[in-house]
Each structure stands twice: as C-alpha cells, then as structure tokens.
Homo-oligomer: A and B are copies of this chain.
Amino acid sequence: MRVDLALIGFGHVGQAFVRLLDSRRDRLLRDWKLDCRITGIATRSRGAVVNHAGIDGVAASLMVEAGGALHDLGEPATDVVAVVDRVSAGGSDVRIVVETTTLNIADGQPAIGHVRAALERGCHVVTANKGPAAFAYHELAALAAARRRAFLFEGAVMDGIPIFSLVRETLPAVEIAAFRGVINSTTNHILTALEEGEAFAPALARMQADGIAEADPSLDVDGWDAAAKAAVLANVFFDARVTPHDVVRAGIDADTAARARQAVANGCRLRLIASGARGERPSVRLVELPHDDILAGLRGTANALIVETDLLGRIAIGQMDGGLIQTAYALLGDMLAVTKLVRR
C-alpha cells in the first residue's frame, strides 16, 4: 500500500518523525506492506516544497539544520494549503497530513485550519499538536467522520504512550468517569529539583540547558501545556466542549520552592495535577500528595495518568522516559492506525 505523507511543520518533532520513519522503512515495507513517501513539506521559515516522487526526509532535516532552505528537494509551493492540495491530488492509496506545528495557546491556530484543510481534501490527519483537539475537537472529529477520514492525536498527551488508543481499542464498553495525572514533564522535573533543595531559577535554567524546558518556558511553568492536555482529555473522554481557557489553571514559580520543601517535611510531595470529571470543569492545580499516592512517586520527567472507569475501577498508565523519540513514535503509531482503518 502506498502512503503519501505531507509534513506540515518541520521542527524538532517533524524531523524526529522523518528520522524514525527512515530507520523503520524496511520493516514497514516487510511487516506492514507500506511504501511511505514524503511528498510534501511545509515549514514556517524554510519554504514549502512538493515532490510526487518522494522527498528524502533525512536530507531535508540535515538541510534545515544547516540553515538551508528546502527548494532543491522538489517544486516550491506557496503555502500549507498548496502543499495539502498537491499531496491530496497525488492519487496514492492513502494520503496523510502529519501536523507538527507548535501549540498556539491563544486559539490553536493555524493548526486547526491545517487539519480542516487536510480533512476537506480527503487526507487523514495525525498530529502531535495539542491545539486542534484542545480548541476544536468536536468540529474536527465530526468533519473527519463525515469525510470517512481519521483525525488522530495520540502524541498530544503523554507523548507516545497510548491514552486515546488505549480507551478506543482496548477498553470497549468501558466509560471513563474521571482522570487525574501528572502530564507536564518540565514542571515535574522542576518540582523534583525544588524538593531536593534547588531554587526555582537555577533549576529552570538547568532544564533549559539540558533541552528539557523550552527557551520560552512559560507555556510549561504557567500551566498552559497541562491545561491544553486536560482540555483534550475532557473533550475526548467526557464529550466536553472546553478550551484550555476554560481549565482552572495554576503553574509554578519562585514561591513554589518553599511549598515543595514544606510538602517533603510533611511526608508528602507537591505535584502539578491535571484532573477532570464528567460534567465538571477540568483543572490544573498544585496538590500536596501523600507518599502512597502513585502520582507522588513520579520523579523527573516521568508522567502518569489515572483514569476512573465504571467497570474496571482505576487504571494507571505512565511513561518513565518521555521525549522527542516518544512523540515521533506517537505519529508513527497513528500513521499505522490509519493504515489499519483503511484496510478494514
């Protein structure tokens, strides 16, 4: 089966995805009978390009990293919609738009527009961007259903750890009543450092130097990243119609260090907890957890989510090792899920 891929966004996540795809190319062909080609790439600052014969993704990544532009790798395109137009007209068995632009916490744009354009043109969409499902889940899911296309976003929460596919594929007839979890790595890493006695500013600076925190860490430390994930979880699990701006939100700052150390003195741990329940407003809050709470034991970049179900009680799923490769896998896993759906 021939799969044409249009990459919208080509930063760290998009480039990690093409490298993962390249490393698995033989296995995808052998085990999955998939001939995957990148036939379009749209970047914010390095141009956009299409090539029906296939673009060498690793070469494109090296070119972008070296500061070059993409125009030598194919035919230039004017913008994202032009790339989607051309890829969707390619006539292959499956056309998938891989959306990896960064989260815009104001309104989720332009990613929502990218997803909409792709679905309207008969492409499936896989994305690691939280924006579309956090701001427009119902509209986009309905559009995907109407066009019989997939809109998948496993990488939006807990990187490559299956959350949405866990519920969709492995828990038939189970209802989710509530969730709570540690779902932002940067703040959990900083909280772990604070409770070991480090101050806020140097802990944050160290995370930035190690590439764990962003150069602009405000989305993480102000709780916006966790709020966007909580909105996605509520929209999908509870059929809620919330955006990140509807989430009760807290973050961490220089004053958090004393609270984190006090929590340890109390035999507890301070954690930034995202939670939600059917019919309730989701929240992101700093909570002092007793030692025997499984979320208290999460250190560093470990993440975990506990879902309360009607039939199975509480189920926990967690990742000990989060990062770029995991997010890239989320896109690959979603891509494989699309091909399974198409084959049915």
Contacts and interface: CB of A to CB of B under 8 A. Distances in A.
Contact of A173 (B27, B299, B311, B319): B27
Nearest to A192: B292
Contacts of A318: 294, 315-317
A230 B34 CA distance: 34
B333 A173 contact: yes
Interface stretch (A124-132, A164-172, A210-218, A252-260): A164-172
Contacts of A322: 313
Nearest to A20: B311
A8 to B, nearest CB: 23
Interface residues of A, number: 50
Interface string A238-268: 0000000000000000000000000000000
Number of copies: 2
A306 interface: yes
A111 interface: no
B317 A313 contact: no
A313 B321 contact: yes
A20 B161 CA distance: 30
Contact of A297 (B20, B165, B297, B314): B297
Interface in A299-344: 299, 304, 306, 311-323, 325-326, 329, 332-333, 336-337, 340, 344
For the complex of A and B, list the 5 residue pairs with the smallest distance between their C-beta atoms, beginning with the closest.
A313-B321, A162-B170, A314-B320, A169-B169, A165-B170
Interface of A: 20, 24, 27-28, 31-32, 159-162, 165-166, 169-174, 291-294, 296-299, 304, 306, 311-323, 325-326, 329, 332-333, 336-337, 340, 344
